[in-house]
Each structure stands twice: as C-alpha cells, then as structure tokens.
Structure 1
Amino acid sequence: MKQVTSILIGAGLRGGYVYSQYALDHPDEFKVVAVAEPDQERRELFAAKHNIPKELQYESYEELLQQDKIADCAMICTQDKMHYEPVTMALQKGYHVLCEKPMSPNKDEIVKMGAMAKKYNRILSVCHVLRYSPFFSKIKEILDEERIGRMMSIQHIEEVGYWHHAHSFVRGNWRNKEESSPMILQKCCHDMDIMLWLADSKCKKISSFGELTYFTEENAPVNAPRYCMDGCEHRDKCPFYAPRFYLEHPKAVEDGLVYAVTDQADSEHVLEELKKGPYGRCVFHSDNTVVDHQTVDIEFENQVTASFLMTAFTNQCARRIRIMGTKGELKGDMEAGTIEIIDFVSGTNDLIQLHTPSKGHSGSDMNMMREFVRMVGEGKTGKTDASVSVASHLMALAAEEARIRKTVIDFEEYSAYETK
C-alpha cells in the first residue's frame, strides 16, 4: 500500500496529539502534509513535529481548503459545532474525511454530511473508536457466535470519572451544551453507537432522564472563590482543586489533559494559566450546562432492550457492560480487559483476559487510525462509515429530546425525514 497523505484541521488534543501520532509511529504508511489551526503556538509546535513547511501552515480551514487538493484525506478535529463546513468543503474538494465525533449537534447537518459522502463517493469515517477496541470487537464476535444464545437485554454504564468530568464537562470545551453539544451526544454517542452495533437492529423507541444536579452555584462551599488559586480555604478537602489535579494526578500527564491548560506543561506555566484560565475555575462557579448524570432506555426493533447509565460520580473513567441472553450471560469491563461468560447449561464460567493498552480508549484510537489509513489506501469501507454513524447520532439527539420533553420518542418517526 502506498503512503497515505493527510491534512489536519484542528491541532488540539485529539487531532494534534492522538490521531496524528499514527503518522509519527508509522511514517511509511501515513504523513500529515499541512495543518490549519488558529492558535499560532499550537500550530507551530505541530508543524515542527511533522516537518510541515511554513507555506503549508494555515490559520483557518477556509484558507487551506480553498487551495488545490494536496493530500488523500483530511482529518477534521475542530470543536463540535465547527465540523459541518470543513467536512463538506473537504468532501467537495475531493478529500476522504476522518471526522471527530460528534459529527454535529445539529440534526440536519448530520444527515446532510452523510448524504454528501454518498453523493461524492467519498469515505466519511466518524471517530467512533470503540468499535475498534479489542474489548468490544471480542464481545461482538461472542454474540455473533451465539455463545449466550439469543440476546435479550443490555445493561451498559459509562463511568465518566469525577476528575474527567470536572476537566472536560465543567471547566473544559464541552461544559456548555449551547456552545458545543449535549452530554449524551458529545460523550455518549460512542455508547449509543456500541449498543446499536451489538443489538444488530434499528432503534424503535427511546426515553431518558437526567439533570445537572451537583456542579451548580448553590452547591458551592461557603466563601469558595471563583478560581481555585484565589486562596480557597476548602482546597484540602475538595477533590476538584485544580492545581493538585493538573500537577499531581497521573491522568493529567498520562492522558495529556494538562495540554488543554497549556502547551508548555511545566509547573510554572500550568500555575500561571490556572490563575485566571478556564481550567482554574471553581467547579461550582463555572458556566457549565451539561448534565452530570443521565439514564437512557432503548427498545430495538428485534425486541432487545437496553439500559444505559452515564455518571460523573465515579473514581475511574471506565465502561462496563452486561448482556443477558437465552443461554448465558456476559459481563465485561473494558478498562480491565476482562470478559466473563456464564453458561446456563453447563454452569461454567469462562473468563477472557484481553491485552488492552492503558491509553487511547484501550487501544481503540490507533486501531481506528490503522483502519482509516487502510480504507483510504485500498479504497475499502470500514466499521464506522457515515451511514452507520448518522443513525447512532440521531439516537443520541432523540434521547436528549426525550429527556427534555420527559417523553418516549418513536425513533422511526423522529428520523423519518432522513430517508425522504
């Protein structure tokens, strides 16, 4: 296979540090040849890592996509509400596209992007990376082999983690649903997609409950300042004290979260940014509007029922699943890499231990990039093309509408215009 070339639009954490890492690890297979990023320091640091000349460094995606096509594909890693225009421009220009999830918080834009990929016969692969994880790939294989008989029920939980929720959904870029997207779409479209994939059926009905309960002004401790570094007297008892997390918590460094605070992650730069930057705010004095706990119940057309729980109030950032079948039961822990199968007939327990890397969604990120590069290089389709992703995105939006309206959504009716 020839080397696949790409442009990058948005050199933040996912684009600049995760997906593009595949080019550094596999230079014979993949190369990033141009970048568009409004932050000059971030743009120049990325360009230096990938040896991108000055003339191929752009401040805006419009500048880059107005040029003649210069690569095989485009990685679109901008913020949630900023995907539609660069994705459609790239497809029209002739690029295959890798789009960070969610595609868009706008129902019409999601459907139009899927239709445009089909119209121009381009690959539009959405970063539903969990389909590429060893964990969920193995579960899919077990289900297809009918080792637990006919599937009847799914119970799935996403433990966001108190520290991750505070970083991304209270202080960070995804804190405000009006500026980005609802929590069930931004964080949990992964999970809607996985349940859709495992159930192997279309969604029939969906309902949801959830609220922003804890991370609000009324729960702020007495005399808590707006910024952690403004002499907070609760610092030793607060699990969300920003300087302690960004300088001491292993996940801040291991998962690169500190680079959201500053591109120069030494203590001097971190503390300076936390004084008045968004990541130094008290979690009770922010402008966050996304829920901090939510449940979703789903009925699929094949009569499989699914229950999903998202919560901020856990120690680990983890996904756990139980699947109940007519001949057995499956229990899985993604981060631990364990799958237990209980056979109703023999009464035996089969414990499967997978190799799951600690980073990158348990190895999913690089598996997805490997598959995307292969798809572009060989002209093949993969697990997460746009037609599949449109359905799971609409499930997430239907769940949010059900939560707000406190009703049950008929999914066929909700998504009917998609096929018009």
Structure 2
Amino acid sequence: MGKITAILIGAGLRGGHVYASYALEHPDEFQIVAVAEPDIARRKQIAALHKIPEENQYESYEKLLQKECMADCALVCTQDQMHYEPVTMALQRGYHVLCEKPMSPKKEEIIQMGMLAEKYNRVLAICHVLRYSSFYTKLKELLDSGKIGKLMSIQAMESVGFWHHAHSFVRGNWRNAKESSPMILQKCCHDMDILLWLAKAPCKKISSFGKLTFFKEENAPAHAPKQCMDGCPHRDHCAFYAPKFYLEHPKAETDGLVYAVTPTSDKESVLTALKTGPYGRCVFCCDNTVVDHQIVNMEFENDVEVSFVMSAFTKECKRTITLMGTNGEIQGDMEEGRIRIFDFVSGNTEEIYLHTPSKGHSGSDERMMHDFVQLLGNSENSEVPTGAGISVDSHLMALAAEESRLSGETIDFATYKKNLMEEVQR
C-alpha cells in the first residue's frame, strides 16, 4: 500500500490535533499535503507541523477546492453547519472524504450527502469513532454470539462531565443550536449510531424529554462578572472558574481542550485569552441554548426497547451501558474498559477487561484513522463501517428525538424518514 495523501479542511481541535496527527505518528502511511483554515495562527501551526508549502495553505476551503484534486482524500473538520458544501465540492473534485460528525444539522443535507457519495462512487466516511472502539466491538461480538440470548432492552448513558459540558456546550463552539446543532445530534449522534448498530433493526418510534435548566443567567450567583477573570468573588467556590480548569485540570491538556482557547498552552497565553475570550466567560452569562440534560426512548422494529440518558451533571466524561437479554445481562463501562456478563442459567458472572487508551475516545480516534487509511489503500474499496449510507439513519434518529423533545409527541420514525426521503427526491 502506498502512502495516502489528504487535504485538511478545518484545523481546529478535532481536525488539527486529532485526525491530522495520525500523519505525524504514521508518516509512512499518511500525509497532509494542504490545509484550509481561516484562523491564521492555527493554519500556520498545522502547516509547520506537516511541512505544508506556502502555496498549499488556504484561508478558505472554497479556494482549496477550486484547485485540481491534489490528494486521495479530504478531511472535512469544519463547524457543524459548514460540512455540506465542502463535502459536496470534495466529492465532485474526486476526493474520498472523512467528515466530522454530525454530517449536518439539516435533514435534507444529511440525505443528500448520502446520495452524493453514491452518485460519485466515492468513500464518504463519518467520524462515528465509537464503532472502532475495542469496547463496543466486544459488545457487538457478545450480542452476535448469543451470549445473553435474544436482546430485549438497552439502557445507555452518556455522562458528559460538568467540565466538558461547560467547555464545549456552554462556552464553546457547540453552545448554540442555531449556530451549530442540537445537543442530541452534535454530542449524541455517536450514541444513536451505536444503539442502532447494537439493536440490529430499524428504529420504529422515538420520544424525548430534556431542557436547558442550569446554565442560565437567572442562576448566576450575586455579583458574578461576565468574565471569570474580572475579579469574580466566587472563584474559590465555583466548579466552572475558567482559569482553574484550563491551567489545572488534567483533561484540559491531555484532551487538547486548552487548544480551543489558544494555539499555545503556556500559562501567559491561556490567561491572556481568558481575559476577553469566549472560554473565559461566566457559565451563567453565555449565549448557550442547547439542553444540559435529555432522555431519549426508542422502540425498534424487532421489539428491542432502548432508554438513553445524556447529562452534563456528572463527575466524569464517560459512557456506560446495560444490555438485557433473555439468557443474561451485560453491564459495561467504556472508559474503564470493563464488561460484566451475568448468566441467568448458571448464575455465574464473567468479567472482561479491555485495554483502553486514556485519550481519543478510548483509542477509537486512532483506530478509525487507521481503518480509513487502510480502506483507501486497498485496490478495491470495501464498505466503510461508518459510511454515509449507514449514518443517515442515526442522524435522522437524533433529529427526530429533538423534534419530539420540542413538540412533546412520539415520532413514528419510519414515516418520518419516508416523508423526508420523498421530499428530497422530488
């Protein structure tokens, strides 16, 4: 297999510090040859790391994609509402595409992207990285082997983590649904994809409840300033005091969250950025609109029933799941890499411990990049596990859940999808 080349569209945290870094760690397999990024500091940083020549550094994806195809694939890592156009242009230019999730917050664009990949006969992979994790791969293997008999119910939870929610969904790029996408789509389309995969049947019905309850101006403590560093009297008693998190919390560095604040993570640069920047705002004085807790209930065509909970009010950022079958039960914790299986007949409990790297969705990010590069290196491209055709359903499930949350009505998913498909195809 020869080296796979790529252009990078969007050099933020996910694009620049996660997916593109695969080229630095595996230079014989993968190379970034061009970058499009409006932020000059981020653009120059990525260009320096990957030795990208000046003529291949672009301020906008439009300028880059106006050029003749110069690589095997495009990594589209722009903001949620900016995926459709660069993905479309890249497919038309002849690139295979790896697109950050979600595909789009717009139902019509999600469907059209799936159709375009088929039209141009190109790989369009969506970054549903959890399918590549050793944890969910093992769960799928256990279910398919009949380890707990017929699957009947799933109870899953995404603990967002109080600090991660404040960073990404209160102060950060995904705080406002109109500017990005609803929380259940942006954060949890991963989970919708996994639940659809494990249930092994199309979704039949969806209902959802959730609100933005806590991170609102009415809950701000007395005399709290708009920016944390403007002499906040609550700094020693506030879990969300920005300087403390970005300078002291281990996840700020290991997960790269500090690089959303400033391209350089030294103390002086961080404090300067927090004085006036969005990540230094009081969490009760932001323009956030996405929910901070939500539950989604689903019924699948094979009678499997699923309850999914997303909450900002947790200590850790983690995913846990319970799979209930006719012959047994499986409990799992992704971040701990622990799976516990209880057999109803024998009464025995079996425990499995998996190796889980501490970063990158427990190693899923790197595995996804490896598989994507290997896929493109094959002379005959096989089906990608997270291809657009597969991912359309899970995205539409998330949007149906959001419609249910807002309307208070249960959504008949088959009818919902059918009506959307017909509308796009007219």
TM-score, normalising length: structure 1: 0.99
Partner SS state of residue 31, structure 1: strand
Contact 2:340 2:352 in 1 (8 A): yes
For the residues of structure 1 that align with 2:310 and 2:76, how far apart are their CA atoms?
27
Q: Give the count of matched residue pairs.
A: 420
Partner SS state of residue 7, structure 2: strand
Match among 383, 393, 396 for residue 395 of structure 2: 393
The Cα offsets for residues 184-220 of structure 1, whole Å up to 9 and x where unpaired, read as 0000000000000000100000000000000001100
AA of the residue aligned to 1:247: L
For the residues of structure 1 that align with 2:409 and 2:419, how far apart are their CA atoms?
20
Contact 1:337 1:355 in 2 (8 A): yes
The Cα offsets for residues 64-91 of structure 1, whole Å up to 9 and x where unpaired, read as 0000000000000000000000000000
Q: Which residue of 2 aligns with 1:54?
A: 54
Q: 1:418 offset after TM fit, Å?
A: 5.0
Q: 1:419 offset after TM fit, Å?
A: 4.5
1:413 lines up with 2:384 in the alignment: no
For the residues of structure 2 that align with 1:200 and 1:139, how far apart are their CA atoms?
13
1:181 lines up with 2:168 in the alignment: no
For the residues of structure 2 that align with 1:24 and 1:244, how far apart are their CA atoms?
31
1:130 lines up with 2:130 in the alignment: yes
1:63 lines up with 2:69 in the alignment: no
Partner SS state of residue 32, structure 2: strand
Q: Which residue of 2 aligns with 1:215?
A: 215
Q: 1:168 offset after TM fit, Å?
A: 0.2
Q: 1:227 offset after TM fit, Å?
A: 0.5
Unaligned runs of 5+ in 2: none
Contact 1:24 1:50 in 2 (8 A): yes
Identity of aligned residues (%): 67
Q: Which residue of 1 aligns with 2:205?
A: 205
Alignment of 1:3-402 (within 5 A): 3-378=3-378, 379-402=381-404
Q: 1:380 offset after TM fit, Å?
A: 2.0
The Cα offsets for residues 339-365 of structure 1, whole Å up to 9 and x where unpaired, read as 000000110000000001010000000
Contact 1:374 1:380 in 2 (8 A): no
For the residues of structure 1 that align with 2:345 and 2:369, how far apart are their CA atoms?
41
Partner SS state of residue 34, structure 1: strand
For the residues of structure 2 that align with 1:352 and 1:418, how far apart are their CA atoms?
42
Partner SS state of residue 320, structure 1: strand
For the residues of structure 1 that align with 2:229 and 2:7, how far apart are their CA atoms?
39
AA of the residue aligned to 2:418: A
For the residues of structure 2 that align with 1:330 and 1:86, how far apart are their CA atoms?
41
AA of the residue aligned to 2:340: E
Partner SS state of residue 321, structure 1: strand
Contact 1:74 1:90 in 2 (8 A): yes
Partner SS state of residue 48, structure 1: helix
For the residues of structure 2 that align with 1:88 and 1:275, how far apart are their CA atoms?
39
Contact 1:35 1:57 in 2 (8 A): yes
For the residues of structure 1 that align with 2:59 and 2:228, how far apart are their CA atoms?
33
The Cα offsets for residues 353-381 of structure 1, whole Å up to 9 and x where unpaired, read as 00010100000000000111111111222
The Cα offsets for residues 253-297 of structure 1, whole Å up to 9 and x where unpaired, read as 111100000011111111111111000000000000000000000
* 4+ aligned runs moved over 6 Å, structure 1: none
Q: 1:409 offset after TM fit, Å?
A: 0.2
TM-score, normalising length: structure 2: 0.98
